Every structure is written in C-alpha cells, then in structure tokens.
Amino acid sequence: MKFPVMKQARNSLYRIFPGLFPLPKEYYNWYGFINTSQWWDEKQLKEYQWKKMKEMLAFCNQNIPYYQRVFRNMGIIPDDIMTEDDFQKIPFLTKDILGKHTEELLPIGINRSKLIKYNTGGSTGMPLIIYKTNIDDTIEKAFTNSQWARVGFEPKDIRVILRGEVIEKNKLWKYDPTYNSWIFSSYHLSKEFITQMVNKLNNIKPKFLHVYPSSLWVFANLIIENNLKLHFIPKAILCGSEKLFDHQRKLFSEVFGCRCFNSLALAEQTIHAGECEYSNDLHIFPQHSYIELVDDAGKIITEPGITGHIVGSNLHKYSFPLIRYLSGDMAQYAKGPCKCGRHFQRFSQVEGRVQHMIVSRDGRIIPLTALVFGQHLQAFNKVEKMQLEQWHPGEVNVKLIKGTNFNAEDVQILIQQLTSASENTILFSVSFHDELERTSAGKHKFLLQHLPINYYNFDQNS
C-alpha cells in the first residue's frame, strides 16, 4: 500500500503546487538559450548553426559506423566540408536506409542502459525503430515550451490533452501530475459520452488544449451537434503531429473562442518549427536542426511557393544522429520577413502526415493517429510496411509486408493491441503482401478508406 499512497499524495501536492517538481537543470539552460538566441540576427544564427553542424559531422566521423562508411566512400573527412555546397554532397538518409542500418547509427561503445528505444508511428507506412536519451527529450521540451510561450504558455499551466493516449480501465479521462494535465480519451468521442466530457472540461477550465487536430475536430463537431456550451475560453489550442487544415482552424476558433497554434516536430527530432505571435507560418528553429528543402531530383529549393521534400539534420542529438534525413514530409517556404522579427526560415505550407479516419462498429469516428500512430505497437519492430484498408464499418484489414522474423504470434499480438486500442469496436484481419498500393505520385498511402466520411470534409487529395 505504500507506493499507491505515496503516488496519491504526490498527485494531490501537484494539483495544489504544480511547480513543486522542477524540470532538470539542463532544461532551464536550454530554455534560456533558445529564448535569447531567437532574437539573434541572421548572421549569428547561421554561424551558430554551421558551427554545430560541423561539430556533429566530426562526432559522426569518429563515433558512428554508418557515417564512417559514408565519409570513407566519399573519400573525405568532415574538415573537407567547408560550404553548404560541400554539405549537399552527403547522400540522403532515407527511411529505408535508416531501417536497415539502425544499429550502425548508434555511437560506438554507447551505454545502452541510457538509451530509450521507441517506434515511430509509421505514418508513411514504414515503421522505424528510433533511439533517444532523457537529455534529448529535455532539449525537445525546451524548444516546445519556448514556442508555446509565444501564446503565454508556462509549464505549470493546466492543460487538457486529446492526442490518442489509451486510458486504462476504459476511463474517459485521467490526471497526469507530471505535467499538470488531464488526458482525455480519443476513443470515447461519441454522442454517448460527449456531455460527460464537456462537463469535465468545464470543471477543469484548462488554460490550454493540447491536441491532434483530427481528434479535436470530432470533439468540436459533437459539441455543436449536441448543443453543448463551454463555460471558459482557453488561451490557445496547441496543435501538432498532424496537418492542421484551414477548415479545422476555423471551426476550433468558433467553438473554443481562441487561436489555434500549430507546430511541426518529428519523433526523429530532425526538425522543430512552430507558429509565432502574428503568423500561421511555421518558423523553423535554426538552433535545433539544419533544414533543407529539395525537389524530386534532390536539388535544393530556395524560392518560396515551390513544394519540396523536407531534409533535416540533428544539431544536438548525439545519441542517434541523423544527417540529411528525408522525413517524408513536404513543404513550401514562405515569402518575405515576418512581423515578429525573428530571422527564421518559415514554411507557409506543410504537406504529408495527413491522417484520416476509421469508422467503428458503433458508428464512432476514430482518428487514425489515435488508433495506430499514438500506439507503440510491438509488431512495428518486425514489419517492413503496413497499410490499413476499410470497406465496412467496424472492419479493417491490416495489410503487411512482413520482415524476416515476423511470425504467427506477432499477428495475434498486433490484432490484440489494435483491438484494445479501438475499445473492441473494430474487427481486425491481417493479410500479407509483396507490394502495397501507392498513389499516382508513387507515395505510399497508409489508409485506403473506401467509406464515404463526408462528415469531415477532408481534402482527399492531400
């Protein structure tokens, strides 16, 4: 009984004194640096970025087997990379290469007990194993909170999270004292539960909502359809991990009476970008990573308004460094300077990672992000590619290109995990394939949705 009592006491203390459990010292060092350097001029930012990039290249040459081989094959050492043109000769790191050489991207002799192993959600259909450390997460948190501070966020502020977490015992919500947050279930967004959830929201009166846009879109429509009222106005809605559509932004503003504040951050930690106080453009943190935009031929794009592939390189993640990593996302640069005064490159438009919806047996709409991308499915370790296909409500076929070690037991585990995540409202089947269907542009489609979900008015060509 000792530990549950201690946990209960800690939660109670945090509710009263949310600043009682401070963040690590490294967090405050990074947070202070980010907030100061965001006002540097363009020359200072470029000098800092290039200095850190050179340090990372030297580290990779000394410690990372994959890049030791890359530099050897190129016949160079990092000191030979003097300009951006030189840097662009380094070959791209694709998801396929990352999947095949995961272990070779770890530093030689690293203490594996300090590594956190996790899976990306595989939104491009190619699930990956990624490594990080606690300090990597601390740095990411500092960048996130610095961006959110532009709309008044402080770490102690109470927020409600609607981002696909599975809540134990079929609960509608739970409190997380670590971040003074209430986590709401994305699997109970239906007419049956919406009144309870809105009443709880009105009771909490959070300063911020932290959401997947697809989940909040269902929530907001249910509020309207059931003539429910909110008795508070949050400071802002913090969106991320999905494309935020204009029609979603408009609806959220109407229902919640505040601004949507969007961001872009990858699990691979090769980019961090977010909106500012004045603009919906995504400002790319140059202190975080080195970003390029390339066309289909791999040529650098510098002009605004041209869609290209985002290429990112870590500047600080020494535990699992990725250089010139093709994330699968596409974007366009924005025009001209921003009113905020930051000398950051900006994306005016970001494509990719567009999530769609699954229809459950009882007619509920479950965001694909919540069902799949929000889970850390064990089978991801043994799957080359995955694609979901739905023809009938409550039925989904999981199409797999299996890896060499994938077996019958993994099939059962995958079905159990997905079924549990859907609260037993979807019947899953598994089929194996040599190839999976692609779009006319050759891109892998994670979900083949054949049901007419006109309720959401999504742009199906996105």
pLDDT digits (tens, 9 = 90+) for 159-172: 999 987 778 888 99
Question: Strands 427-432 and 395-402, how do they pair?
Answer: parallel
- According to DSSP, the residues that pair with 429 across neighbouring strands are 397
> What is the chain's mean pLDDT, rounded?
86
Q: What is the pTM of this model?
A: 0.78
Predicted confidence (pLDDT) at residue 327 exceeds the cutoff of 80: yes
How large is the average pLDDT for residues 106-129?
81
Predicted confidence (pLDDT) at residue 95 exceeds the cutoff of 50: yes
| Whole-number Å distance between alpha carbons of 216 and 99 | 32
Predicted confidence (pLDDT) at residue 123 exceeds the cutoff of 80: no
Predicted confidence (pLDDT) at residue 318 exceeds the cutoff of 70: yes
Read off the pLDDT of residues 411-437 as tens digits, 9 standing for 90 and up.
Answer: 998 898 899 888 889 999 999 998 887
Predicted confidence (pLDDT) at residue 33 exceeds the cutoff of 90: yes
| Whole-number Å distance between alpha carbons of 355 and 214 | 7
Question: Strands 383-392 and 447-449, how do they pair?
Answer: parallel
Q: What local confidence, expressed as pLDDT, does residue 456 receive?
A: 30
20 CA to centre of own chain: 28
Which CATH fold topology does 357-456 show?
A: GMP Synthetase; Chain A, domain 3 (3.30.300)
Q: What local confidence, expressed as pLDDT, does residue 434 receive?
A: 85
Read off the pLDDT of residues 289-299 as tens digits, 9 standing for 90 and up.
Answer: 999 999 988 99
Predicted confidence (pLDDT) at residue 455 exceeds the cutoff of 50: no
How large is the average pLDDT for residues 137-149?
96
For the stretch 313-339, what's the b/e string if a residue is b when 16 or more beta carbons lie within 10 angstroms of its beta carbon?
bbbbbbbbbbbbbbbbbbbbbbeeebe
33-47, 223-237, 308-322, 428-442: which has the minimum mean pLDDT?
428-442
Predicted confidence (pLDDT) at residue 354 exceeds the cutoff of 50: no
Predicted confidence (pLDDT) at residue 114 exceeds the cutoff of 60: yes
How large is the average pLDDT for residues 271-279?
96
Q: Which residue has the higher pLDDT, 421 or 441?
A: 421
| Whole-number Å distance between alpha carbons of 140 and 416 | 32
Predicted confidence (pLDDT) at residue 180 exceeds the cutoff of 80: yes
- Dihedral of alpha carbons 49, 67, 352, 265, sign: negative
At residue 186 the predicted structure's pLDDT band, cuts being 50, 70 and 90, is confident
Predicted confidence (pLDDT) at residue 205 exceeds the cutoff of 60: yes
Q: What local confidence, expressed as pLDDT, does residue 81 receive?
A: 96
The answer to whether 23-153+235-354 and 357-456 have equal CATH topology is no
Tokens describing residue 234 = 């949050």
Predicted confidence (pLDDT) at residue 217 exceeds the cutoff of 60: yes
Q: What local confidence, expressed as pLDDT, does residue 120 receive?
A: 73
Name the most confidently modeled range: 68-77, 157-166, 436-445, 447-456. Answer: 68-77
Q: Domain boundaries in the chain?
A: 23-153+235-354, 357-456
Picking from 226, 250, 456, the residue whose alpha carbon sits closest to that of residue 359 is: 456
Q: Which residue has the higher pLDDT, 436 or 375?
A: 436
Contact 215, 161 (CB under 8 A): no
| Whole-number Å distance between alpha carbons of 254 and 279 | 19
1-5, 210-214, 425-429: which has the minimum mean pLDDT?
1-5
Residue 40 burial (C-beta neighbours within 10 Å; 0-12, 13-18, 19+): middle
Tokens describing residue 324 = 């010139």
How large is the average pLDDT for residues 190-212?
95
112-126, 204-218, 263-277, 339-353: which has the minimum mean pLDDT?
112-126
Q: What local confidence, expressed as pLDDT, does residue 74 receive?
A: 96
At residue 4 the predicted structure's pLDDT band, cuts being 50, 70 and 90, is low
Contact 241, 216 (CB under 8 A): no
How large is the average pLDDT for residues 370-398?
78
Q: What local confidence, expressed as pLDDT, does residue 106 receive?
A: 98
How large is the average pLDDT for residues 190-207?
95
Considering the chain, what percentage of its residues have pLDDT values greater than 90? 60
Considering the chain, what percentage of its residues have pLDDT values greater than 70? 85
| Whole-number Å distance between alpha carbons of 53 and 59 | 10
How large is the average pLDDT for residues 335-350?
94
Question: Which of the following CATH numbers is that of domain 23-153+235-354: 3.40.50.12780, 3.10.180.10, 3.20.20.80, 3.40.50.150?
Answer: 3.40.50.12780
Predicted confidence (pLDDT) at residue 316 exceeds the cutoff of 90: yes
Q: Which residue has the higher pLDDT, 14 or 171?
A: 171
Residue 152: left (phi > 0), alpha (psi -120 to 50), or beta? left
